[in-house]
Homo-oligomer: A and B are copies of this chain.
Amino acid sequence: MADPTARMLRLLSLLQTHRFWPGGELASELTVSERTLRRDVDRLRELGYPVAAARGAGGGYQLQAGSQLPPLLLDDDDAVAIAVGLRTAAGGTIAGIEEASVRALAKLEQVLPPGLRRRVQALQDSIVPSLGEAGTVDGEVLATIAQACRDQERLRFAYRRADGTESERTVEPHRLVAHHRRWYLVAWDARRSDWRTFRVDRIGDPAGSGGRFAARRPPGGDAAAYVRSSIKARPTRHEAVVLVHVPAAELPREATWFRGEVEPVDERSCRIRTKADGLAWLTVHLAFLECEYRIEGPPELVAFAAAHAGRLARSAAG
Contacts and interface: CB of A to CB of B under 8 A. Distances in A.
A84 B94 contact: yes
Contacts of A311: 286, 289, 291-293
Contacts of A291: 311
A162 B256 CA distance: 24
B104 A78 contact: yes
Given A5-B8, A78-B103, A312-B286, A212 B111 contact: no
Interface in A131-166: 131-132, 134, 147, 150-151, 153
Contact of A3 (B43, B58, B63, B130): B43
A43 B77 CA distance: 27
B292 A315 contact: yes
A70 B130 CA distance: 33
Contacts of A225: none
A287 B240 CA distance: 15
A40 to B, nearest CB: 9
A112 interface: yes
Interface in A69-92: 69-82, 84-86, 88-89
A97 interface: yes
Interface stretch (A11-19, A183-191, A263-271): A11-19
Nearest to A134: B253
A306 interface: yes
A151 to B, nearest CB: 4
Mostly helix, strand, loop or mixed at chain A's interface?
Answer: helix
A114 interface: yes
A77 B100 CA distance: 6
Contact of A317 (B110, B111, B150, B306): B306
Contacts of A78: 100, 103-104, 107
A315 B293 contact: yes
Point out which of A286, A289, A312 has the most chain B C-beta atoms below 10 A from its C-beta.
A312
A148 to B, nearest CB: 9
A99 to B, nearest CB: 9
Given A43-B5, A306-B316, A82 B93 contact: no
Interface in A254-309: 254, 256-260, 278, 280-281, 283-284, 286-289, 291-295, 302-303, 305-306, 308-309
Given A128-B259, A293-B311, A110 B16 contact: yes
A127 interface: yes
B287 A308 contact: yes
Interface of A: 3-6, 8-9, 12-13, 16-20, 43, 47, 58, 63-82, 84-86, 88-89, 93-97, 100-101, 103-104, 107-108, 110-114, 116-117, 123, 126-132, 134, 147, 150-151, 153, 212, 242, 253-254, 256-260, 278, 280-281, 283-284, 286-289, 291-295, 302-303, 305-306, 308-318
